[in-house]
Structure 1
Amino acid sequence: MWVKIEEFDLILLLKAIKPKMKITKTRKRWSIILLLLAIIIIIGCFPSTPQNPIQYYERESGQLKTEKVAGEKWLVWLYNNPIGEATLWALVKRKLVSSIYGKMMDRTSSAKRIHHFIEDFDIDMSGVQEREFNNFNDFFTRKLKDNVRPVDTSFNTVVSPADGKILAYADISNSDFVIKGFRFDVSSFLDNPVLAQKYRNGALFIIRLAPVDYHRFHFPVSGNLTPDKKVEGYYYSVNPFALRKKAEIFCLNKREYTILSNPLFGDVIMAEVGATMVGSIVQTHEGSSAKKGEEKG
């Protein structure tokens, strides 16, 4: 009887202790999880590496100016903080996020942001066709009056296809060139090694449109057109804050291009590159030929 009682008591004791052991293990797990979350939050809130301002020469005044960047703190955090970079990789660079943001900017409630945006960035609205917008995307894709951007009709000139900051290369040599110390491969950008060889000694103009800029784009020369070639990709920001960390963004982002055949300039490639929160590239031009200055999209 003594043995049986001891065994019985031992079983009861173990049954009484086991739930406590489970509680202790659960607490330890939660402690570890909370500790990890605290570390992530601390790293996420830790100040990012200070960035040099974005400066550019304004051609009209000849002055060196500093660009005011929409969402600057957000951009710097995404590309210069470990948690920000993880967020960028997991979410921000993907189409879903830009699509959701685009739908939000299609809502009539988004129109409330327009007035403050214009004031914050001192946007000149004098040349805009419409002053009333249904939503923020209407404002973002605003049209200009016909006489606001006069087009040089001379046969031997190329006009800027868009408003923006320009980076120019006279000769890209051997189908690649350097942007901020990184090699950029034209073959990868075009997704066509054979076509890239044709432009191995070509000239290149990169026009970067900031969120504050007029976002429609126009043909730089007249010519016959090939159908648009679409290259699937991500939606990284093309702001210099991002390019300083990842210059290959041009080859990673979604992009489209067409070739204009011009008697004087030959075959000119015009390409559009997508970016964060710009989920779509809309081509508005129809037909197999275009005149210089006509809207492309």
Structure 2
Amino acid sequence: MIKFYNRKNKSYEIEQVAGEKVLNWTYSSPLGMSLLEAVIKKKMCSSLYGWYLDRRISKNKINPFIEKFNIDMSITEKNSQDYLSFNDFFYRKLKPTAREVDSDRNSLVSLGDGKLFAYENIDLERLVQVKGLTYSLKELIKNPQVAEKYQKGTCLILRLCPTDYHRYHFIDSGTCEDTKKINGAYYSVNPVALRKVKKLFCENKREWSTFHSDHFGDVLYVEVGATCVGSIIQTYIPHKPLKRGDEKGYFKFGGSTVILFFQPNKVKIDEDIVEQTKLGYESYVLLGERIGTKI
């Protein structure tokens, strides 16, 4: 059971988890963990399932998924019958009016829809994965020089569960450098898995890039793949001027995570998000929603 904080209602809710029984069995039983290490975390497993979800035959999974998880199709660009495959539906685009991006240049906005943790004054060698488990930014991006810029800065972890909108966006105007890719495993990024696999973010396939923001300094974007995520697709053009809210990329099927790092004294995260993080709860946020301010 995953409890999260709904900022709009100021209340706690229980997340609906796609494949919850299988997920719990995999990460909680000796046989499940053995299968995970031998097969599930391997690239071939996720690639094969991704291949299937790219095929027209997978369309029959769309409507049951919409009904089970109450997906709001009134805000999507296409109707359910118009998608060519399940993956085509999974990384669906939203109507331009579906999400309002806060235009105040001093407002820090969410890069997408999902569950958010926020950590301030971070120690690069002891970044929090979950309570009791940490990892290193230097190990995460394998570039100590870039990592050092974010010592004592701010870290945001946005988890996109399979029922969420799976495109991620730029939080400000600016330009973004080329993406660096790091091969890795395909563990789930669900909290169940985060409590079981040490340095999970450093184990999984991931990509990172430096975004030169006009108002928040150099922001480090790290996209982390997960079980059954066949691909991380970057749709932006490196070094080209970007606007706040422009799309950066999307994930194919599976739960995924985007981690942002800010340099010290650049942003102040809204107090409710920081407080919920300290209590161990993620806060549910939407693309374009204000989550902090410029310092």
TM-score relative to the length of structure 1: 0.80
Runs of at least 5 residues in structure 1 that lack an aligned partner in the other structure: 1-52
In structure 2, distance between residues paired with 1:294 and 1:157: 16
Find the partner of 1:251 among 192, 202, 205: 202
In structure 1, distance between residues paired with 2:124 and 2:94: 39
- The reply on whether 1:224 has 2:172 as its aligned counterpart is no
- The reply on whether 1:177 has 2:103 as its aligned counterpart is no
Report the equivalent of 2:255: none
Which of structures 1 and 2 has the bigger CA Rg? Answer: 1
Report the equivalent of 1:236: 187
Q: Which moved more, 1:126-135 or 1:149-158?
A: 149-158
Aligned-residue CA RMSD (Å):
1.2
Q: Which has the larger helix fraction?
A: 1
Q: Work out whether residues 178 and 238 of structure 2, in 8 Å CA contact, stay in contact via their aligned partners in 1.
A: no
For residues 64-213 of structure 1, the aligned pairs below 5 Å read 64-131=12-79, 132-178=82-128, 179-213=130-164
**Displacement of 1:174:** 4.3
Q: Work out whether residues 219 and 296 of structure 1, in 8 Å CA contact, stay in contact via their aligned partners in 2.
A: yes
Q: Which has the larger strand fraction?
A: 2
Q: SS where residue 204 of structure 1 aligns?
A: strand
Runs of at least 5 residues in structure 2 that lack an aligned partner in the other structure: 250-295
- The reply on whether 1:282 has 2:230 as its aligned counterpart is no
Q: Work out whether residues 175 and 197 of structure 1, in 8 Å CA contact, stay in contact via their aligned partners in 2.
A: no
Q: Work out whether residues 172 and 215 of structure 2, in 8 Å CA contact, stay in contact via their aligned partners in 1.
A: no
In structure 2, distance between residues paired with 1:262 and 1:164: 22
In structure 2, distance between residues paired with 1:144 and 1:59: 22
Q: How many residues align?
A: 245
Higher relative contact order (CA 8 A, sep 6+): 2
In structure 1, distance between residues paired with 2:30 and 2:225: 24
Hey, which bits of structure 1, 4+ residues long, moved more than 4 A? none
For residues 256-275 of structure 1, the aligned pairs below 5 Å read 256-275=207-226
Q: SS where residue 123 of structure 1 aligns?
A: coil
Counterpart residue identity of residue 197, structure 1: E
**Displacement of 1:162:** 1.1
Output one character per residue of 1:225-248: Cα deviation in whole Å (capped at 9) or x when no partner: 111111111111000110111241
In structure 2, distance between residues paired with 1:226 and 1:148: 28
Identity of aligned residues (%): 47
**Displacement of 1:175:** 4.3
In structure 2, distance between residues paired with 1:292 and 1:247: 35
Counterpart residue identity of residue 210, structure 1: C
Find the partner of 1:294 among 246, 260, 271: 246
